[in-house]
C-alpha cells in the first residue's frame, strides 16, 4: 500500500469514528437521539441537562452560526429553523421535524448543555 493510500485510509477511519460517536452522550454534553416526528403522536415532555431558568419559548435575538452546528452534532436528524441568543448569552436552537428535542440549549462555548 502506498503512503498516500494509507493516509486516505486513516482519514476515512477517523471520520467514520467521529460520525459514529458524534451523537453519544456525556455528562458535559447531553446529546442523544432525536425522536422522529410521527403525525398524531404526542411529543414527550423530556428535559436533559441545563435549561436556563428564565427561558421562555420565543424569547431571544435570532442569529445564525456555530450553535446550530453544535445542536445538530449532538442531536443529528432534526432540522433547525432558527437559533436565538438568550439574555444570558447562551443559545436556544429550535428544532423541527422531530418530536424531541424541540429546544437544544448551547452555551457561550458552543457546547450543548441541555434539551427539552
Q: Which three cell numbers stand for residue 41?
A: 403522536
Residue 27 has pLDDT above 60, yes or no: no
- From the centroid of its chain, how far is CA 114? 9
pLDDT tens track for 40-50: 776 666 777 77
pLDDT in tens, 68-106: 999 999 998 888 989 999 989 999 999 888 888 889 999
pTM of the model as a whole:
0.57
Amino acid at each position: 500500500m502506498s503512503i498516500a493510500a494509507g493516509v486516505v485510509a486513516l482519514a476515512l477511519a477517523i471520520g467514520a469514528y467521529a460520525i459514529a460517536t458524534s451523537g453519544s452522550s456525556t455528562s458535559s454534553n447531553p446529546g442523544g437521539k432525536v425522536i422522529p416526528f410521527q403525525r398524531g403522536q404526542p411529543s414527550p415532555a423530556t428535559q436533559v441537562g441545563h435549561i436556563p431558568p428564565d427561558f421562555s419559548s420565543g424569547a431571544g435575538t435570532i442569529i445564525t452560526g456555530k450553535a446550530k452546528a453544535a445542536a445538530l452534532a449532538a442531536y443529528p436528524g432534526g432540522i433547525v429553523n432558527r437559533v436565538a441568543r438568550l439574555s444570558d448569552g447562551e443559545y436556544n436552537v429550535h428544532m423541527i421535524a422531530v418530536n424531541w428535542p424541540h429546544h437544544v440549549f448551547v452555551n457561550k462555548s458552543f457546547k450543548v448543555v441541555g434539551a427539552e
